[in-house]
A = this chain, B = another copy of it.
Amino acid sequence: MKFIAHIDIMPHDALLDPQGKAVEGGLAKLNLSTLTQVRVGKHIRLQVEADNSGDAGALVDSACRHLLANTIMERFQYRLEELV
């Protein structure tokens, strides 16, 4: 079975996000100051080949922990979509 994994990797809420702060400043200069509390992270989409969604989830979890996310500074979440 094939799945598409949509992964979001974001800085922990407790940490300062300088990139988000910079974007917030830019938005304010564009008269978009009603947009606040900007946090910038990564979005990763990939295809998984696995026997079932449980196995696919385990593979994606392993990839996030070992390569994609720095779990000291970032948290990740993902959703799987089955390819038909």
Residues of A within 8 A of B (CB): 5-6, 8-10, 20, 23-24, 26-27, 30, 32, 34-50, 59-60, 62-63, 66-68
Contact = CB atoms under 8 A, between A and B. Distances in A.
A2 B20 CA distance: 19
Contacts of A43: 8-10, 40-43
Given A27-B63, A37-B45, 14 more contacts: A9-B43, A20-B44, A32-B62, A32-B66, A32-B67, A34-B48, A35-B46, A36-B49, A37-B46, A38-B45, A39-B44, A39-B45, A41-B43, A42-B43
A60 B35 contact: yes
Contact of A34 (B9, B35, B38, B49): B49
5 contacts: A23-B44, A30-B66, A34-B59, A37-B45, A40-B44
